[in-house]
Chains A and B, each alone.
Chain A
């Protein structure tokens, strides 16, 4: 077997450990402390924000416009409407500002 193959297998195992690890740790406790529960409830906003925030550093006017449109549409519309509106705004804006 090639080195590449083993890198893929080891990478897959490492990834699966991250996907099941948090559950294995938490499930050892019978009672979840309210503060831990508050922390778990914060996970979606906390992690997803870190996937967007650094993009702001490299974003130009077109990207900013797209994000603003996305945020505004998300106040009213569903996930698909918000996504399509943001993508459309980006494509149109990039025709003008590159």
Chain B
């Protein structure tokens, strides 16, 4: 009984600790949720469909690409393939985060993977790196506010999209790069951080110029990961086991 109370209050404070960390993500993603809703209706989605896409796909960049292609009357299978291509980086996230959440019950894991976005992965990895357990309550506290705000704001954007002010002067078109740079910097103490950043950065820029978006993300990411795989283990700080 006593231990129940302790573990419950522990879970509660873990949850709220996660909620606190979710706030920058909620702020940074809000403009994109509203913008998505507005653009979706503009391209011929109903308000319900815009809401549904945010609730089920839950991946900002892929949703933007999806509605843009939809507006251009591209074949449905090609739209789905493009969504898959934009989201392909999550394969690497799920490979990485699996080590941290393997101790959860299977249903919690299934839910955890559903809300595995860029910031969700990065902040959870940072917690694991600092030696703390990535618990379900904490993870949900981090992800749930972002999800709820995302779908509600998408709906609001779809309903009231015509009223959006000048986004450029408010700087909201550049909030995500700022946030992502901060996340990259947060991993600077990891072995091989600088070589990986340089390799991924160069490869993604070259791919962006040649192959084009969205493949530059996967190509750049794979370049950085491969570099870490190829370099001798004593550089990467991972013990070679006999």
Q: How far is the CA of A14 from the CA of B91 in the complex (A)?
A: 11
* B231 to A: closest C-beta gap in Å: 7
Q: How far is the CA of A21 from the CA of B93 in the complex (A)?
A: 9
Give chain B interface residues in 19-44, CB to chain A under 8 Å.
Answer: 21, 23-24, 27-28, 44
> Given A7-B76, A11-B79: A83 and B200 within 8 A (CB)?
no
* A60 to B: closest C-beta gap in Å: 10
What mask results when residues 50 to 92 of chain A are scored 1 for a CB within 8 Å of chain B, else 0? 1111111101000100110011001100011011001100110
Give the dominant DSSP class at B's interface.
helix
B154 at the interface (CB under 8 A from A): no
On chain A, the residues within 8 Å of B95 by CB distance are 22-23, 25-26, 40, 43
**Of B179, B205, B223, which one neighbours A56 at CB under 8 angstroms?**
B205
Instruction: Give the size range of A's interface with the partner.
Output: 35 or more
Q: How far is the CA of A82 from the CA of B177 in the complex (A)?
A: 12
What mask results when residues 41 to 76 of chain B are scored 1 for a CB within 8 Å of chain A, else 0? 000111001001100111100100010001000001
What mask results when residues 192 to 205 of chain B are scored 1 for a CB within 8 Å of chain A, else 0? 11001101111111
> Given A8-B57, A22-B96: A45 and B184 within 8 A (CB)?
yes
Instruction: Give the size range of B's interface with the partner.
Output: 35 or more
On chain B, the residues within 8 Å of A82 by CB distance are 182, 185
**Of A8, A10, A20, which one neighbours B49 at CB under 8 angstroms?**
A8
Give the dominant DSSP class at A's interface.
helix
* A52 to B: closest C-beta gap in Å: 5
- Most chain B CB within 10 A, of A15, A49, A83, A91, is at A49
Give chain B interface residues in 83-133, CB to chain A under 8 Å.
Answer: 83-84, 87-99, 102, 110, 113-114, 116, 118, 121-123, 125-126
B residues in contact (CB < 8 Å) with A? 21, 23-24, 27-28, 44-46, 49, 52-53, 56-59, 62, 66, 70, 76, 79-81, 83-84, 87-99, 102, 110, 113-114, 116, 118, 121-123, 125-126, 168-171, 174-187, 190-193, 196-197, 199-205, 208-209, 213, 216-217, 219-231, 233, 236-241
A sample of 10 cross-chain residue pairs with beta-carbon separation below 8 angstroms, ordered by A number, consists of: A5-B49, A8-B52, A15-B90, A38-B233, A44-B96, A47-B221, A54-B205, A56-B205, A70-B185, A74-B186
